[in-house]
Amino acid sequence: MSTSSDAANSIRLFERLALRPKEAAEALGISERTLRQLLPELPTVRRGNIVLIPVAGLREWLREESEAEKGCVERAVGEILEAVHPRGKD
């Protein structure tokens, strides 16, 4: 059941500069286990046993991953089209 304190926490979470792994996982809609597998790729700040993920860095990483995936899809489509309709053989 959602409470008014949950809503207040969500607002505070949105305003934060950095997230702990559990919070970052929630923000991305993935499990904490999956996020921890991604940690080597993510921008992090570590102090002792505290791990923080800067929100701006997380957003930038997600944008870069999205662009990289888009590029892979475009290349794959180009290769498929070339295989089906080779250039110069029309």
CATH of the domain at 64: 1.10.10
Q: How confident is the model at residue 10 (pLDDT cuts 50, 70, 90)?
A: low
Would 17 be classed as within a structural domain?
yes
Quick: pLDDT tens for 22-70. Answer: 999 998 899 999 999 999 999 999 999 999 999 999 999 988 888 876 6
Q: How many domains does the chain have?
A: 1
Which residues make Cβ contacts (< 8 Å) with residue 57, sequence separation at least 6? 42, 43
Say whether pLDDT at 8 is over 60. Answer: no
Strand ranges of the sheet holding 18-19, from the earlier edge strand across to the other edge = 18-19, 50-54, 45-47
87 three-state secondary structure: coil
Asked if residue 8 belongs to a domain, the reply is yes
Q: Are 25 and 35 in contact (CB under 8 A)?
A: yes
Q: Look at residue 89 and tell me if it is in a domain.
A: no
- For the chain, state the CA radius of gyration: 20
The residue among 13 and 27 whose pLDDT is bigger is 27
Answering whether pTM is above 0.85, one says: no
Q: Rounded mean pLDDT of 80-88?
A: 75
Token couple for 7: 């809503």
Domain boundaries, position 67: 4-84
| Res 31: pLDDT | 95
* Helix (H), strand (E) at residue 19: strand 18-19
Question: Among all chains, which residue has been given the structure tokens 């409470």?
Answer: 3
